[in-house]
Structure 1
Amino acid sequence: MQSRSRRSVLATLAAGGGVGAAGCLGGGNSVSVLAAGSLAVVLDEHLGQQFEEETGLAVRGEYYGTNAVMRMVEDDRKYPDVVVSADAGLLRDRLYDTHSVWDVSFASNAIGVAYAPDTRFGERLNAGDPWYEVAREADSGNFAISDPDLDPLGYRAIHAFRLAEREHGLDGFAETVTEAAYREPEEPQLLAGVETGNRAAAVVYRNMAADHGLPFHSFPDAYNFSNPEYADRYAEVSYTTDDGYTATGAPIVYNATVLESADSPDAGREFVRFLANADKALRENGFETEEFPRTHGEAPIEVSSE
């Protein structure tokens, strides 16, 4: 399905969702959401409260690395109404045909380094030293990434290391930094070590640094996965997870779908409509929404009709 204008998508998302009328959403009083860990703060502390105020529906959210989210759904360990992914391609590859046949993309992001300014790592960044030199010379375990087998943020960090090695002529850089990095299995906890002083820095999305009040050193567009004009360059690198999924570098796109097994599908579609319309709040919390929302796949009539 071709992408359509923001006005068209928002109008059609609203058409069948019963906007603002909780009684029209199947009689339930909540919507269950299984989402990427990088969305935990913005959903729990901002968008979830706003959604409940507008609809009377509470958001019951759980947050993990997106690859872990997909495994939970595929293995029937979790039964959410809505799944929200930090990698649009991953959701489509893993859930289409078996659990859903459509999604709505609603935001993008950028990756870089969040750091504690009072560490040697932070002092060097603030002094203008190239991040890759600082990272390469950091003590083992002092620089963290998310687990790439569980989370797109983790394999995007490795993608970035490989592209940075090419971009800056850094022989052996990607392997050295990847092997020395601490791998955090719980994405929402990635910055906890930086905040407590156990680690100096971590590769994160821009919004995560803002969530935790930490300085953020963005990678260049050539490997921060924010700029669609660099899509071909991003695609030059890949990572294969321990369950055999090969993730190829691509611009960051967040998307959401309602599972065919949802207990509250109407409430789920209302929540997806809400995400598509939450551009102001998302931007205020570090996301990019200029090119969104976009529908993909065999969207239901209330999502795709003109």
Structure 2
Amino acid sequence: MRSHDGNGTDPTSRRALLATAGGLTAGLVGTAGCLGATDEVRVLAAGSLASAFENGVGPTFESDAEFGYAGEYYGTNAVVRLVADGTKYPDVVIGADAALLRDRLYPDHADWDVTFAANEVVIAYAPETALGERLAAGEPWYDVFADADDGEIAISDPDIDPLGYRALLLFELAEREHGLEGFRAAMADRVAHVADEPRLLAGLENGARACVVAYSNMATERDVAVRRLADAYNFGNRADADRYAQASYTTERGHTVMGSPVVYNATVPADADDPDAGRAFVSFLLENEGLLADHGLRVDDAIPRFHGDPPEGIAP
């Protein structure tokens, strides 16, 4: 039986990490004990899905299916790296950048995936702060950001998380859209990086930050004030995919990513410990669009969409 965390130690209980009155507080979530048993599906997913999966999708799956649910959540760069280097052997892998999962896991670890939900980038803010007051008053967000002090605005780590590099690409696309010379570089030097995506909004709530660049579902789940962004740079409109791709980011490991719409895709890895459980969970996602929508994710007519040939039991 493979060790769940790759180092022979028992990971921390996922529910112990999540059990707070206000909801999700931990950015890294695991389950206790060895998780190779066939009565539990092990899901390694993008961090922005942590609250939705722990508080909705996972428990509902457990009540409807013959399997339990055990989830871990990281930035998608970290998710695919953990699978590619053999550190983890989940039954389901879910990323927040479809191209990234395919680039890193095909063909050695997967040959198919399915997109099942979409999202968009927003600005979440604390209305009681000076920056928040200006956003609430309707000032252009890029003018407000240009006046921010170092650390007042936070993004997730762009080297491990698509939300982090999408924040930097947002600054670049806004620079082009509004003629803001040097805006991306200035913001890159000014923003704080938060390593764990699910902890990003905690800084907003505890007064450490005035604004964060987040996904729409994260802000919805935490009920924080939000400034919606134009389709030209919110990564939420598939019709603007070519525009998003004009911006790129190269991670510290030398992997270059292009801007792309925010869509989540899932696969059952070829070396999954329990592929039957993995297929059951992916099928559950495709059959429960309303549950995903209840947690702030978008499911539209373009979803689901398969890439490659899905295994028997997961119908296109």
Q: What is the TM-score of this pair, normalised by structure 2?
A: 0.86
Q: Decide whether the 8 Å contact of 1:105 with 1:276 is kept in 2.
A: no
Deviation by residue 1:177-236 (Cα, 9 ceiling, x = unmatched): 111000111111111111111111110000000111111112100000111111111111
User: Is 1:35 aligned with 2:45?
Assistant: yes
- Tell me the secondary structure at the aligned position of residue 132 of structure 1: helix
Work out whether 1:133 is the aligned partner of 2:143. Answer: yes
Structure 2 unmatched ranges of 5 or more: 1-35
Contact 2:282 2:314 in 1 (8 A): no
Aligned twin of 2:20: none
Q: Could you tell me which of 36, 45, 51 is aligned with 2:55?
A: 45
Alignment size in residue pairs: 280
Matched, 1:275 2:285: yes
- The 8 Å contact of residues 295 and 304 in structure 1, kept in 2 or not, is answered as no
Decide which structure has greater helix share.
Answer: 1
- 1:109-120 equivalences in 2 (<5 Å): 109-120=119-130
Q: RMSD of the TM alignment (CA)? A: 1.4
In structure 2, the CA distance between the partners of 1:27 and 1:177, relative to structure 1 (3 Å rule), is closer
Q: Give me the whole-angstrom Cα distance separating, in 1, the residues matched to 2:108 and 2:56.
A: 32
Q: What is the DSSP-based 3-state SS (H/G/I as helix, E as strand, rest coil) of the residue aligned with 1:222?
A: coil
Residue 311 of structure 2 corresponds to residue 300 of structure 1: yes
Secondary structure of the 1:191 match is helix
Shift of residue 28 of structure 1? 2.2
> Quick one: which of 137, 162, 170 aligns to 2:172?
162
- 2:106 corresponds to 1:91: no
Deviation at 1:295, TM superposition (A): 1.0
Residue 242 (structure 1) shift? 1.1
Instruction: Return the letter of the residue paired with 2:121.
Output: I
Give the residue type in structure 2 aligned to 1:300.
Answer: P
Following superposition, the deviation at residue 304 of structure 1 comes to: 5.2
By relative contact order (CA 8 Å, sep 6+), the higher-ranking structure is: 1
| 3-state secondary structure, aligned to 1:183 | strand
Distance 2:227 2:116 in 1: 24
Amino acid at match of 1:283: A
- Between the aligned partners of 1:258 and 1:129, the Cα distance in structure 2 is 45
> Aligned partner of 1:135: which letter?
F
Aligned residue for 1:245?
255
Name segments (4+ residues, structure 1) moved above 3 Å. none
Q: Which amino acid letter does the alignment assign opposite residue 149 of structure 2?
A: D
The answer to whether structure 1 residue 103 and structure 2 residue 113 are counterparts is yes
Preserved CA contact (<8 Å) 1:103 1:296: yes
CA distance in 2, matches of 1:162, 1:265: 41
How far apart are 1:27 and its partner, in Å? 7.9
Q: Secondary structure at the match of 1:303?
A: coil
- The one-letter code of the counterpart of 1:295 is F
Mapping of residues 220-239 of structure 1, within 5 Å: 220-239=230-249
Taking a change above 3 Å as real, the CA distance of residues 56 and 127 of structure 1, as seen in their structure-2 partners, is: same
| 2:53 matches 1:62 | no
The alpha-carbon deviation at position 45 of structure 1 amounts to 0.1
Do 1:51 and 1:58's aligned partners in 2 also have CA atoms closer than 8 Å?
yes
Specify the alignment match of 2:181 in structure 1: 171
Residue 212 of structure 1 corresponds to which residue in structure 2?
222
Contact persistence 1:145–1:157 (CA under 8 A)? yes
Structure 1 residues without counterparts, runs of 5 or longer: 1-25
Q: Distance in 1 between matches of 2:244 and 2:44?
A: 27
